[in-house]
Every structure is written in C-alpha cells, then in structure tokens.
C-alpha cells in the first residue's frame, strides 16, 4: 500500500435482541454506555480508526436494525465480512441457546474466511445463568475465539478487538 486509504475491516454483529450488540459497538467506538439503550430501529454502522501491528485500520462495525428477531439479516449484511462478533447475554439462557443458530446462519451466509468471535456479555451482572465452562466449551467446539465482555464497564473489549483485528490482518 502506498499511503492510500487505510484497510477497512468489516465486522458484523450477530446475536439475539437485547444481548448488548449496540451497547458493545457504542462502548468500543464512542467509549459510552447507555443504561436505557433503545432497541435499534435502523441499520447502524459504526467506524473506528485504529492502529494494529503498526498499520492504520478502519474498523467498520455493522449493527442490526432489529431484524435479528427473524434470524435473517440478509446477504448484504454478511457480504465481504472479515469477522463476526456473536454476542450472548450471560443472564439470558435463551440468548446462549440460540448462539448455534447464528453460527449456522453465518456459515450459510458469509464467506469461508469470515472469522468468528463469541462474546459472553454483561459480565458486570451478578445473576449469571450461563456457566463459563459451558460457554467456553461451546466456542471451542465451533472454532471460535471467546471473550468475556461488559459494554457497561468496557471489560474485555480492547482485548477482543485487538485479537480479532490481528487475526484478520494475519489472514489477509
Ligand atoms: P441489542 O439489542 O443486542 O443491540 O442490545 P442493546 O445494546 O440495545 O442492549 C440491551 C439492554 O441491555 C440495554 O438496556 C443495555 O443498556 C443493556 N446492556 C447491554 N450491554 C450490557 C452490559 O454489558 N451490562 C449491563 N448491565 N447491561 C447491558
Ligand atoms: Mg441493537
């Protein structure tokens, strides 16, 4: 590259409604958290410029517009995604049970090289209902990287994105 546009890395957010996808995007991109995060009603798109492995990168984070209810985000959402960040809520067993459906949808819709990262979100809450062991084991069985996160405190997010972006860069 001769000092042109920075490389854009497309990351799509996946997971059930209310698990914290929009909140994680806001926390990562804007360092903010909104307790009463409104349900996303429009397709949202966040970008952030970062430096990884000495390279300028633009992260394009694609957020859903509430279509996750129907488990079908459409081909444009997945097109050319470098990575998927699949989120579940550790206080919501159903959101964990449905992770497999999102993995299946990802495999059906995204290219083979799309990397998968699973985020066990809302780690700041005490009433956990999904065990850490079970979640980690599942992620490993899917060949996915696994991180514990909190959009509220910011826990795990820098580590998650650093690992995700490095891994995508290595694969290019
Ligand atoms: P989305 O539907 O997956 O985009 O979820 P939202 O980002 O809209 O979050 C749903 C609700 O969970 C909102 O009330 C958020 O404030 C809350 N929330 C999201 N992430 C966290 C977190 O890490 N910890 C806590 N305590 N609440 C969170
Ligand atoms: Mg949302």
Task: Give 56-106 pLDDT, tens digit per residue.
Answer: 999 999 998 777 877 778 899 999 999 999 999 999 999 999 999 999 999
* φ and ψ at residue 16, rounded to 5 degrees: -60, 165
Whether the pTM exceeds 0.90: the reply is: yes
| Contact assessment for residue 123 and residue 23, using Cβ atoms and an 8 Å cutoff | no
| Contact assessment for residue 150 and residue 156, using Cβ atoms and an 8 Å cutoff | yes
Distance 25 CA to ligand 2 centre (A): 9
Report ipTM for this prediction.
0.99
What are the pocket residues of ligand 1 if the criterion is a CB atom closer than 6 Å to any ligand atom?
17-23, 34-37, 39-40, 121-122, 124-125, 150-152
> Which atom of ligand 1 sits closest to the CA of residue 150?
23
| Ligand sitting nearest the alpha carbon of 91 | 1
Distance 19 CA to ligand 1 centre (A): 6
């Amino acid at each position: 590259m001769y000092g042109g546009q920075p490389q854009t890395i497309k990351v799509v957010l996946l997971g059930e409604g209310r698990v914290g996808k929009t909140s994680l995007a806001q926390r990562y991109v804007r360092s903010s958290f909104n307790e009463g995060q409104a349900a996303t009603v429009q397709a949202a798109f966040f970008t952030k410029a970062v430096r990884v492995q000495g390279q300028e990168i633009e992260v394009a984070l694609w957020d859903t517009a509430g279509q996750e209810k129907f488990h079908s985000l459409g081909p444009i959402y997945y097109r050319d995604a470098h990575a998927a960040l699949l989120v579940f809520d550790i206080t919501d067993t159903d959101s964990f049970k449905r992770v497999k459906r999102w993995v299946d949808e990802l495999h059906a819709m995204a290219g083979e090289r799309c990397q998968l990262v699973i985020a066990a979100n809302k780690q700041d809450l005490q009433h956990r209902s999904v065990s850490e062991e079970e979640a980690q084991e599942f992620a490993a069985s899917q060949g996915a990287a696994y991180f514990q996160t909190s959009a509220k405190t910011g826990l795990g997010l820098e580590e998650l994105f650093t690992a995700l972006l490095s891994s995508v860069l290595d694969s290019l």
